[in-house]
Amino acid sequence: MAGEEHLLSTEIVNRGIQSSGPNAGSPTFSVRVRRRLPEFVQSVNLKYVKLGYHYLINHGIYLATVPVLVLVFGAEVGSLSREELWRRLWDSTAGYDLATVLSFFGVFVFTLSVYFMSRPRSIYLLDFACYKPHDDLKARKYYNQRHKCAWPRPWQVSKEQFIESARKSGKFDEVSLEFQKRILQSSGIGDETYIPKAVMSLENCSTMKEGRAEASMVMFGALDELFEKTRLRPKDVGILVVNCSIFNPTPSLSAMIINHYKMRGNILSFNLGGMGCSAGIIALDLARDMLQANPNNYALVVSTEMVGYNWYPGSERSMLIPNCFFRMGCSALLLSNRRRHFSRAKYRLEHIVRTHKGADDRCFRSIYQEEDSQRLKGLRISKELVEIGGDALKTNITTLGPLVLPFSEQLIFFATLVWRHLFSSRGASQRPPVKPYIPDYKLAFEHFCVHAASKTVLDELQRNLELSDKNLEASRATLHRFGNTSSSSIWYELAYMEAKGQVGRGDRVWQLAFGSGFKCNSAVWRSMHRIKRPSRNPWLDCLHRYPEAL
């Protein structure tokens, strides 16, 4: 599950047996949390800067020759009067017959047509929806009548209720309960997040039946809203991509959606599993590639995770952390490559940059699903996760920089980076070391959607990238109101910005997510017009409390 992506590194220190006091003889422990990510720019590798510039080099010939041609042509034309310019143009063409002139213009038009037809198709985001549970009575009536099935009721749980219910469930000892309580207190999660009620029952909730029931509730809830907002028939969708990290039944989750909405038989469907909290951007990348290869089409991307199916009922502390952070959530996006949607779409996809550190064994095992000593399955979080996550983030943003940063920022950053590498050793040069320059990403983006993994992660990203409280307001609000909803969290954050009316025409949005593997992925969007406050949005009933509630 994407809890994997939670970059909180926790160490448990056994302090042995107390020798005195009322609790003498009882074991005690303390929790040490590594609060700082490594500095991103202290050891930037030049190869990642080169990788970013590699994306631009394909157009280098245009960038180099067009200014020269403009200068030469401008200098020549600028010295002529209007009458002399027309006379020269007429004299230069008068010596040719009509067939030659028409052939020239035919070749010119053909060349332009080939150029524009060979360009990648623009990918538009028409709209999206984020699942928000109804209250108990509405949920029970709505789902039983419309979907003819008994789905589990979501439970809006406070931190105190969480611990008390966990105690009553009998699945955890007092040491484990105290550990989870301490984690929750510093998590940044509020008292209105959602979990399935089944996770606190005496029975086993990690069953296929419970997993399918929760998947049906969150996926169909988000998709019903999306189809209602876009007024699109499910049969019109030609591409479907679903991502869910751990719960992957047979038939797949994508097959469940196709069966429920009776989609067409030639739909191109994909089901991504085991890819963590960054899988939402991976699914988006796959949908983009499929839209590039299939003109005049719609693509549906569904990102979710099943909380109940991934619940860990054991006592190993490194596997209890996901229980504290992960909550119910799901997002559904409708993408199009049709040019006529230029004026209708909300956003246009600009860039996707993906970073994968799986070749390193330490990164590969930093978030690892396995059984504990009692053969209870869960996700084991490595103590080195903070360092691993920081390195992946550093690589990703360094690669992304040349694509999005203004030229002035790129020039200063690159010059500082080269200077530091040339004179890294003070013994080789008597000059004092150059302080690393942190590019100002606020010049490249108006809005930031950083995966709401934990309060610690958001604090460290804000410090490293020198972001303001306003830049991370949506991420902190999402963590507080909905918890860590895995790969869908970046869409709850964008929904927050839309509900606040913050997204204007031409604004650039940076979505940043990280997850098991270890992976870090970025997506960049540009707003096509000013986004009006939507009538359907998961924030409308609580928006007035933020950011004061943080």
Active-site residue numbers?
277, 356, 447, 451, 480, 484
Backbone angles phi, psi at 436, to 5 degrees: -60, 140
* Bridge partner list, 379: 369
Any residues with CB less than 8 A from the CB of 101 and at least 6 apart, and which? Answer: 93
Q: What is the DSSP string of 479-540?
A: HHHH-B-GGGHHHHHHHHHHHHT---TT-EEEEEEEETTTEEEEEEEEESSPPPPPSS-TTT
Comparing CA positions, the residue from 538, 529, 450 lying closest to residue 500 is 538
Is 339 in contact with 495 (CB distance < 8 Å)?
Answer: no
Any residues with CB less than 8 A from the CB of 493 and at least 6 apart, and which? Answer: 449, 450, 452, 474, 475, 477, 478, 511
* CA gap 238, 334 in Å, rounded: 11
Give alpha helix (H) positions in 346-500. Answer: 361-364, 385-404, 407-422, 455-465, 473-482, 489-500
Roughly how many angstroms between the first and final C-alpha of the chain, as a whole number?
Answer: 26
Whether the link from the prior residue into 518 is cis, omega within 30° of 0, is yes
**AA letter at 253:** L
Query: Pairing mode, if any, of strands 27-34 and 9-17?
Result: antiparallel
Q: Would you say the C-alpha torsion 481, 487, 491, 493 has a positive or negative sign? A: positive
Any residues with CB less than 8 A from the CB of 193 and at least 6 apart, and which? Answer: 156, 157, 327, 328, 481, 482, 483
Whether the link from the prior residue into 432 is cis, omega within 30° of 0, is no
Place of tokens 């169909």: 220
